Structure 1
């Protein structure tokens, strides 16, 4: 009985390892991004050219990463919907951030800028220049400071 369990666990681990080994990262052109991602980039970054764009294909998912210089990295899902914009400590474009979140940060952290925003199922998570992480619901209402 115990050897069957070990064998089953070993087989599952082997399958998972081989599936993850099939992950493929490819540098692609801006035009190869899904339409939503292209529209997002044009709206918020205009004609600025990315340093590189990577398509990260795994067995069950595809993601895209767009890098501008060394300061801005944007992640998109397979449909081209943005998931995260990271300024690597630098301010990100406010056009990306919901107005209610911008207003909250200006009112409560007037000297700080938003350097990262991530959209999750439950809402938004932002990071400020002082390192604080703030959580908001999908409507942009402040929920809590996250550590």
Structure 2
């Protein structure tokens, strides 16, 4: 029994190592991004040129990371849908933040800006300049504060 367990653990470890070894990060040009990502960048960042764009290919997924000179990072999934925008030295463009979320933040935290916004299957998570993390559902309704 112990031998089978050890063999199973070795096989799983080997498989995970093989999968991670196949991951590739490549610098690409803006034109190589999926169309949705190109449109998003043009809409929300205008003519700003990225410092670099990385394509992160793994066996089961592909992701893209766009970095601007002002330390703003945008992450996209394989279809070019945005997943996260983080402004490390500034604020997230207001045009990215859904109106209902922007209204809530303006009303309840009028002196704060959004430094990060992330969208997931259960909703949005934002981080404010004061360090608070606010969570919203997919409709933009406030659900809770994390710190």
Give the aligned partner of residue 28 of structure 1: 28
Q: Secondary structure at the match of 1:51?
A: strand
5+ long unaligned stretches in structure 2: none
Give the aligned partner of residue 3 of structure 1: 3
Shift of 1:89: 4.6
Partner Cα distance (1:35, 1:10) in 2: 41
Shift of 1:43: 0.3
Q: How many residues align?
A: 147
Is 1:71 equivalent to 2:87 in the alignment?
A: no
2:115–2:128 Cα contact (<8 Å) kept: yes
Partner Cα distance (2:53, 2:71) in 1: 14
Shift of 1:8: 1.0
1:84–1:119 Cα contact (<8 Å) kept: yes
Give the aligned partner of residue 44 of structure 1: 44
Partner Cα distance (1:104, 1:138) in 2: 14
Name the Cα RMSD after superposition: 0.8
Give the aligned partner of residue 83 of structure 2: 83
Shift of 1:90: 1.8
What is the TM-score with the length of structure 2 in the denominator? 0.98
What is the TM-score with the length of structure 1 in the denominator? 0.98
1:117–1:127 Cα contact (<8 Å) kept: yes
Q: Secondary structure at the match of 2:9?
A: helix
Give the aligned partner of residue 109 of structure 2: 109
1:123–1:137 Cα contact (<8 Å) kept: yes
2:70–2:90 Cα contact (<8 Å) kept: no
Q: Secondary structure at the match of 1:119?
A: strand
Partner Cα distance (2:137, 2:12) in 1: 37
Shift of 1:124: 0.2
